[in-house]
Amino acid sequence: MDSRAAAAEAMRSAIEYWSQFVARCISQRLDTEKFENYVRLVHDQHPLPPALVADFFLRPQPSNDNSLDPRIPPYLQVLTRLGYVDAPSILKALYKYSSLHAYAQQPNANDGKETEKETEQSDDKEKDEQKQKVTRWKSSYWAEEVLFYGITKSVVEGKAIRDSKTALDMTRIISKLMVLFTTAFAADMLEQLHTAQVRDEMESSRAALVALLLRMCENDILVGAVSKPIAKEMSASLASFVPTLQLVPQITDKLEQFRTEILASSDPADKKKQATNAAMDELLDSAVGLDNFVVAEIPVSNTRAGLYIYLNAAYQGDIQSSAIDLILASFDILANAVFRNEGQKDAHLLRSFLINKVPILLYQLLPPGFPGTSAEFCITEALSHVDTSLFPTASLMFDESRNNNPYTESIREEFCAACVLHGLVQREHVERILGEISLSYEPSLQKHSKDKLVQDCLSDTEKIQGLVRELDKMDGNVGAVLRQSCHSKETMSLKVLCSQLAAKPQSLDVILLFEKLPNILEPLCQLLDNWRYEDDQEEYQPVYEEFGAVLLLVLAFTYRYNLNAVDIGIASPDSWVAKIIGRGHIGRQCNELTQRENDHLNGWIHGLFDTEAGGLGDELMSSCPPQEFYLVVAPLFQSIVVAYTHGYLNDESLKGGIECECHCQLSDLY
């Protein structure tokens, strides 16, 4: 017990002495020659293992936790030469105090099973660190870059990895560092990095780690020493780390080859397992004949997640190439639609996407003031590759030998004008980007304000028609007008707007470029479900017309995109709109109707065809709310067809009844 107590006391004394020594070296700015002389004496009197020595020099000091002191890397070179620290101890200290832990501590659903396992394995260690309140550097990237390159040089010279134990220690800590950088990359994709400077510094540090990793992959001692559990851990780390790199294919291919060939082959062969597999293969080949199996192709499922994974792997954070390719792809898709004579079907939508949606996406990728590549450079570079024979310049549009297409002419100028409105391009640079004077570009063009647009349309219904005519230039703000009209119960304005939109089905496609479907339809459905007659209601026909116009737009969306009530966002089974969508088009016999529905049906039949009953009056409409009427429309028409078929209605009566019905309240719907 006395010897243990003495050893513990000596360790505490050594730790305290080293701590004071490091602080004095930094405060007095000792040069490396004096430092070497002093550190020899300190180590002789108070020897410590390499991990503790490296920890003292690489940990944040009480007076400085912002960034590592520039004197430390030269000191570490001296310590490495003297053998007081080694590569694994330096890497462990770098990992422990790295700034990247700030992002690793944030919850991230994309960490994967490997990160979860890593977390489980290091739970006890993390709890101990939390108890000690470990202070980490606010910015450790430059120090990591310098020391990674220093260790890389040592690996190349054969000094860093001298035996299998060192190789395995370095493999473990490198795997942890890769997981740390992968987590930080995920934080970058989620826009959790605060500045571009932090992003650039982190990229430099990661590039240095990749250089070290490449040299380690070529080290014979490491390749020969790596064993199953460590190889599995490193393979998992590489699998998530390599896709985050923005490197030339040769480098990523080399790392992937190391993972799939070297690390995979390190798994020791199980003779029993091999024998079992061989026997099973022989049995299957003789009994089943695997060569005769026809494997059906699995259909590719297009999902937003799959698209994100593809784009992330293809561009790996290269915003400049992403922006340029986005512009060129938008022009190419429109050109393809024109070549295939799909103007009526798709070209209108694709043109609207190019002119109005692409500038918004560019604004998100490269907002004004974004450091590095400017949006104007990307736009200029992309337009220089656009085929002017298909998307003509202003001068070519006056060439009589050309057959100009309305979907492609002036689109370059309109695209630049939209970019100017979003602040992506300066107005005075438009002609330089286009390469000539623009005849269709209007310098006085101003960006619409959603609030002002909504107010103008609600105060003047005539402006609604102009709104629909210029829908392509409104960036989806029609949805805002619809919502505000629903909230304020401006049913007259809503009737005009819904009728205009339903008459132009292609306008629905344009709106959905900017608005999510539930944002448009939920307010309309709530309005229809809660539609009530006023207590002092005098006229009922206008109510039917307004209700029918709104319902017409909802049904236009429903049938154009093959939607059901759930797609629209209707959760209540008692919703009138859900009932109309679900069974409003189904003809039912009288015995399948409720008593109230039968009463409504009889009332409408007498109102349409019984001249002595007084026709369609307010009494009939007041007793049958429009929601209930549209549930008996299909049975009503079914009864009319049956009556005409059996001779109960002549041609004149049928014509008069149908005209009366359509003229009174169904002009907007049928």
Question: 30-56 pLDDT, tens per residue?
Answer: 888 999 999 999 999 989 999 999 999
CB 449 within 8 A of CB 455: no
Give the Cα separation of 563 and 520 in Å (integer). 14
CA distance between the termini of the chain: 98
pLDDT of residue 84: 92
| 14-18, 531-535, 536-540, range with greatest mean pLDDT | 14-18
What percent of the chain clears pLDDT 70, i.e. is strictly above it? 72
- Which tokens sit at 228? 């199953």
Do the Cβ atoms of 440 and 394 come closer than 8 Å? yes
Residue 522, SS3 per DSSP: helix
pLDDT, greater one: 119 or 338: 338
Count Cβ atoms below 10 Å from residue 59 Cβ, excluding itself: 18
The predicted model gives 426-445 an average pLDDT of 68
Burial of 659 (0-12, 13-18, 19+ CB in 10 A): exposed
Please check whether residue 569 is in contact with residue 521, taking contact to mean a CB–CB distance below 8 angstroms.
yes
Separation CA 560–CA 349 (nearest Å): 15
Taking the domains of the chain in order of start, what are their residue ranges? Answer: 2-265, 318-434, 450-564, 590-666
Q: Which of 105, 123, 36 is nearest to 76 (CA)?
A: 36
Cα–Cα distance, 322 to 315 (Å, whole number): 7
Quote the pLDDT of residue 118: 44
Distance (Å, rounded) from C-alpha 600 to C-alpha 658? 17
Map 407-469 to HEC letters. CCCCHHHHHHHHHHHCCCCCHHHHHHHHCCCCCCCCCCCCCCCHHHHHHHHHHCCHHHHHHHH
Pairwise CA distance, residues 502 & 498, whole Å: 6
d(CA 226, CA 263): 8
Contact between 237 and 175 under an 8 Å Cβ cutoff? The reply is yes
pLDDT at 351: 86
Are 48 and 13 spatial neighbours (Cβ–Cβ below 8 Å)? no
- Residue 249 binned pLDDT confidence (cut-offs 50, 70, 90): low
The answer on pLDDT for 581 being more than 80 is yes
Is residue 442 a contact partner of residue 469, using CB atoms and an 8 Å limit?
Answer: no
Give how far Cα 580 sits from Cα of 190, 242, 529, 570, 584, Å: 42, 53, 11, 12, 4
Distance, C-alpha 14 to centroid of its chain: 53
Per-residue model confidence (pLDDT) at position 392: 75
Calpha distance 345→624 (Å, rounded): 40
Total count of residues recorded for the chain:
670
Distance, in Å, from the CA atom of 173 to the CA atom of 150, rounded to the nearest integer, reads 16
pLDDT exceeds 50 at position 157: yes
Greatest mean pLDDT range, 115-119, 516-520, 575-579: 575-579
Residue-wise pLDDT for 259-275, tens only, equals 776 666 655 444 555 56
d(CA 667, CA 647): 27
Min mean pLDDT across 76-80, 235-239, 539-543, 656-660 is at: 656-660
Q: What is the CA radius of gyration of the chain?
A: 37
Tokens 């070209």 -> residue? 347
Task: Yes or no: say if 394 and 349 are a contact pair by the CB < 8 Å rule.
Answer: no
Checking if the pLDDT of 658 tops 80, the result is: no
Q: How far apart are CA 395 and CA 401, in angstroms?
A: 13
> Half-sphere exposure (CA, 13 Å, Cβ side) for 378?
27
Q: Is the pLDDT higher at 293 or at 574?
A: 574
- Mean pLDDT over each residue of the chain, to the nearest integer: 77
331 has a pLDDT exceeding 80:
yes
CA 142 to chain CA centroid, nearest Å: 31
| The pLDDT of residue 329 | 93
Q: Tell me if 96 sits within 8 A of 51, measured CB to CB.
A: no
Q: Give CA–CA dist 428/461, Å, rounded.
A: 37
CA distance 485 to 467: 14
- Helix (H) / strand (E) element for 455: namely helix 450-459
pLDDT of residue 496: 81
Assign 346 a pLDDT band (cuts: 50, 70, 90).
confident
For residues 17 and 19, give the distance between their C-alpha atoms in angstroms, rounded to a whole number: 5
Tokens of 150: 């220093």
Residue with tokens 């505000």: 484
Reported as a single tens digit per residue, the pLDDT across 348-401 is 888 888 888 898 888 888 887 666 668 888 999 998 888 877 787 665 555 555
Token duo for residue 61:
């000091």
Q: Which residues pair with 217 in a beta bridge?
A: none
Instruction: Read off the amino acid at residue 543.
Output: V
Structure token digits, residue 621: 């409409």
Residue 480 near residue 450 (C-beta atoms within 8 A): yes
pLDDT of residue 79: 93
Measured in whole angstroms, how far is the alpha carbon of residue 274 from the centre of its chain?
Answer: 45
- Is residue 222 pLDDT above 50, yes or no? yes
Q: CA 509, CA 505: separation in Å to the nearest integer?
A: 7
Burial letters for 177-203: b for 16+ Cβ neighbours within 10 Å, e otherwise?
bbbbbbbbbbbbeeeebeeeeebebbb
